[in-house]
Amino acid sequence: MAAEGLHQPIGIRGPDTAGLYEIIYGHRRYLAAELLRWLTIDARVYPLDYDPLLAAISENLNREDMTPVDEANAVARFVARGEPDAAIARLFRKSLSWVRTRRDLITYPDDLRTAVAAKTITLGDAAALTDIDHADYRKSLIQEAIRTGATAATAEVWRQHYLTDRERIIGNNLVIQDILERREAWKIVVACDLCDTDHDYPDTVSIRVCRTCRNELAAVKAETTPNP
């Protein structure tokens, strides 16, 4: 704030019977202004009976970088206060389905909420994939959705496929995971003909030489190899 000034005004409500105002959001900005010895600070004034939670959340909802997860967290605060969905929809000036979608998002697995927050998958993708209860398989579908830019309709097909054939899909996925985890033990290692150290097969090359060149290479190797 010292360098750039105040980007957003604080929110206050009042005055009360004593002529005082209550800060309902922007407390840190107010304290920073005090430390900077500012004499005034811009403020948005609300009526005394205005809901402080709604005022604080409304400021955040106007941010351009809000994600559905941020919106879900805002809805969660009203849910925790016991507000019904219809009342929350009126307060947020959103549809009932908007509120319910965000409320449901709160219960999604962490990996889905993380992907939605990062805006790498859509809320529709997440809604379809929430029924995938096998964590590793769900992770693979999230990666596929990100890679292909899958639509919610595509994710719904994946969901239906999983629910229809869950046991086989999980079984196959576990086999694949086992192969990936054990591939280190299946490495093919060969000794280098010159330095005698072992190397992974993909890190070696094969060449064809005549007997004369092979003998010359062997002689050079013998000359450069220290005696034990």
In the chain, what percentage of residues exceed pLDDT 90? Answer: 25
Range of the domain at 196: 187-224
Q: Where are the alpha helices (DSSP H) in 130-193?
A: 135-148, 152-164, 166-182
Say which DSSP state 120 is in. Answer: S
Q: Which of 67-71, 114-118, 203-207 has the highest mean pLDDT?
A: 114-118
- Do residues 124 and 137 both lie within one domain? yes
* pLDDT band at residue 53 using 50, 70 and 90 as cut-offs: confident
Indicate whether 97 belongs to any domain: no
- Name the pairing type of β-strands 43-46 and 198-200: unpaired
Indicate whether 13 belongs to any domain: no
Indicate whether 16 belongs to any domain: no
- Rounded Cα–Cα distance for residues 144 and 138 (Å): 10
Note the pTM of the prediction, 2 decimals. Answer: 0.55
Look at residue 95 in the predicted model and tell me its pLDDT: 92
Q: What is the pLDDT of residues 108-162, one digit of tens each?
A: 999 999 999 999 999 999 999 999 999 988 999 999 999 989 899 999 999 998 9
- Do residues 201 and 220 both lie within one domain? yes
Look at residue 177 in the predicted model and tell me its pLDDT: 62
Look at residue 13 in the predicted model and tell me its pLDDT: 83
- Do residues 135 and 191 both lie within one domain? no
Q: What is the pLDDT of residues 72-109, one digit of tens each?
A: 988 888 888 888 899 888 888 889 999 999 999 999 99
Look at residue 24 and give its three-state secondary structure.
Answer: strand
**The residue type at 137:** Y
Residue 20 burial (C-beta neighbours within 10 Å; 0-12, 13-18, 19+): exposed
Quote the strand ranges of the chain, DSSP E. 10-13, 22-25, 43-46, 189-191, 198-200
Indicate whether 25 belongs to any domain: no
Look at residue 61 in the predicted model and tell me its pLDDT: 63
